[in-house]
Amino acid sequence: MSIRKGQAWSMDFIISAALFLMVLVVLLFAWNYVSSDTSSQMEIKRMETKVLDISDSIIMTPGLPADWSGSDVVIIGLAIEEGKLNGTKVAEFVAMDYDDARTRLGTGAYDFYFRLKDSDNRTITIQETDAEAGVYPSDAEMIAASERYVIVDGTPATMVLLLWL
């Protein structure tokens, strides 16, 4: 029994179409992986820039207005001067409502966690309140962190600020 020319051509076409579809599927999966990886890297870069901007604002400015307290704050800043934080403002910031603090910090779509710790990694207490605010990222997809050395009412400390998604 012999194969006619039309039958051989049909078989070649089916094999080449199957190979083409397999290559196309592999390329689509690779493209999807590269695309999602690139968008994740861009999001992390945005978060890193945002966390550095917010931490700069916190430790380098007194906020807006400069003598803010409680609910009259527009932009949160805790500095008396660069790197020296006002303990009263820290206590008021820590006592703020989470959503209100997020808005005033300008975190956008990101959640935040703020903490002042001593050299033994213990949270500092200011005016009988732990210097800790926000939500700790226990189930975050992405985290951007900033650690800055500061002085709070004459005591050296490390300010930790995390933004997370």
Nearest to 88 by CA among 97, 77, 99: 77
**Arithmetic mean of pLDDT, 83-87:** 96
Number of C-beta neighbours around residue 29 at 10 A = 10
Residue 125, strand partner residues = 130
- Residue 28 is inside which H or E element, if any? helix 5-60
Confidence check: pLDDT of 144 > 70: yes
Number of C-beta neighbours around residue 110 at 10 A = 23
Which residue range(s) make up the domain with 134? 40-164
**Arithmetic mean of pLDDT, 69-91:** 93
The answer to whether residue 10 is domain-embedded is no
Confidence label for 4 from pLDDT (cuts 50, 70 and 90): low
The answer to whether residue 117 is domain-embedded is yes
What is the chain's mean pLDDT, rounded? 91
Number of structural domains, the chain?
1
CA distances (Å), origin 136, targets 12, 28, 77: 60, 37, 21
What pLDDT shows up at residue 27? 87
Confidence check: pLDDT of 5 > 80: no
Number of C-beta neighbours around residue 107 at 10 A = 19
- Residue 161 is inside which H or E element, if any? strand 155-164
